[in-house]
Amino acid sequence: MNLFVKFDRLYTTEELSCVLRVVSLKTIDVGIGIRDYRQMSVCVRHAHCPRLDELMMFNDKEDAATL
């Protein structure tokens, strides 16, 4: 199952980053792409949901420094 699909094909990373930039610019006044979102989400997850990493069995090497 794919969450982000078009009628004829899947979104590319570039297309999804563009959409995310437009939406985030309108909602939080900062245009962020996929890479930026991932970096922020890792930091927030580690700070506020450390147990989630264990539950989801994330690789120990995944942290803000490695991104």
Q: Helix, strand or coil for residue 49? A: coil
Residue 60 has pLDDT above 60, yes or no: no
Note the pTM of the prediction, 2 decimals. 0.58
Residues forming a β-bridge with 5: 10
Model confidence pLDDT, tens digit, residues 5-40? 667 777 788 988 998 999 899 999 999 999 998 888
Residues 6+ apart with CB under 8 A from 16: 4, 34
Break the chain into its structural domains and give their ranges: 13-56
Residue 1's pLDDT is what? 39
DSSP code, position 10: B
Identify the residue with better confidence: 38 or 1.
Answer: 38
Closest CA to 23 of 11, 34, 15, 31: 31
Q: Which residue type occupies 16?
A: L
